[in-house]
Amino acid sequence: MKKKVLSVLLVAAMAVSLAAGCGQTEKKDGGNASQESSVQEAENAGKSEDELWKEEPAYGRTLVITGGAANCVSAVVVADILGFMEEEGLDVEVQKIGSTEAMNAVATGKADFVTSHISQMTVPIINGLGLKMVGSAMTGCQSLYVLNDSPYQTTKDLVGKKVNIAAGTGSQDHNIVLRFMQHDGLQASDYQFVTTELSAVVQAMQNGEIDASLMGDMFAAKFVQQGILRPIRSLTTDEDFKDEPCCSFAVNADFLEKNPITVKKMVRAAAKASAWIDSHTEQSVQLMLDHGIMSGDDIESLNQIQGSFDWTVTQAKTEETLKLIIEEYKDLGLIDKSKDSAELLDTIWDGSVLSDDELEQVWEEGRNFEATSW
């Protein structure tokens, strides 16, 4: 098989304080929590997953899943389209909304499942946004682009130049570019960060208003094909980023605590869809075109980009990446250096929802699934 070629502005001083308070309470009550867990395990002994599932508050209700605004966050929607959600016994309603709106909807209980970029979710969750990441969607998806005929070959060539981050300062775009710079020995002050709408970026480059811009690879594909743009740094193809998950499945933290089996079923369905996408590139592109998840006329280019992502990233690799991102974000000043890294990881991540052994089984089912219609 071929391999393997967005931060919300939440001012959260109070939220951080509350989060810290909760952490202290958990430590203080650790013994009681352990006892309660043992009792619960005893009560659950001998019960099947479906029997336990029927005891959850979310059992039997319609679940709201968000995604499908772009191919990289669409596995959960593809899971619904291909019947994997129904196969898990889940009744779902899909909301195709922007990632920031989707994150807030899930955090406030208005929706149940979101797929978004790790660089968009990490800082807000640490600052009190009530989400928990529970699995990985895929690798890659964004790169730093310049005009094909420009003299810029590396990030260091852009020192003092205007670099566009379409989503604005503090956004996922900003965080991604900062990591590029960090890996290349640069500082944030080395670039003149500007904000130009994505739809106007290419013209702004051609007019000399900006020198480079972070873009989604799917968005940039047609311009690369036309010889207008080329990437100089990439989450998708560069050795230090290409194996990292870019996007993650997330749920409301309280929802996860009360409905672990419901969450497991949603993640399992999404993972099965991810494996199907990974092994059925041309079909998945056509499905996404048919359902308005992606657009474009150059099918060959769309297939190439779709196939350059790894849609099957283990829980272990996701956790490893999150640990690295926490440390790099501390160095960048995006996270308070005094905060305990292990506690931060526990705040943003729960990899126990589906084990890697379970994932491998689900992925095999997804690879072997043949869709006859959608």
**CATH number attached to the domain at 142-234:** 3.40.190.10
pLDDT band at 148 (very low <50, low <70, confident <90, very high): very high
Two domains, one topology: 13-22+47-139+244-368 and 142-234: yes
pLDDT band at 21 (very low <50, low <70, confident <90, very high): very low
Please state, in angstroms and rounded to a whole number, the distance separating the CA atoms of residues 133 and 348: 6
User: What sign does the dihedral 77-78-82-84 (CA atoms) show?
Assistant: negative
Please state, in angstroms and rounded to a whole number, the distance separating the CA atoms of residues 197 and 76: 28
Please state, in angstroms and rounded to a whole number, the distance separating the CA atoms of residues 226 and 294: 19
pLDDT, tens only, 24-44: 333 333 334 443 454 455 456
- Angle between helical axes of 217-225 and 299-307 (0-180°, round to 10): 130
**Average of pLDDT values for 343-356?**
97
Listed range (5-14, 271-280, 357-366) with the worst mean pLDDT = 5-14
DSSP conformation class of 305? H
User: What's the chain's average pLDDT?
Assistant: 89
pLDDT at 41: 58
- Opening angle at CA 325, ends 185 and 79, nearest 5: 130
pLDDT at 7: 35
Annotated domain spans of the chain: 13-22+47-139+244-368, 142-234
pLDDT, tens only, 269-327: 999 999 999 999 999 999 999 999 988 888 988 999 999 999 999 999 999 999 999 99
Topology, domain 13-22+47-139+244-368? D-Maltodextrin-Binding Protein; domain 2 (3.40.190)
pLDDT at 23: 35
pLDDT band at 348 (very low <50, low <70, confident <90, very high): very high
CB 236 within 8 A of CB 143: yes
pLDDT at 33: 43
Residue 323 CB contacts under 8 Å (≥ 6 apart), including other chains: 341, 345
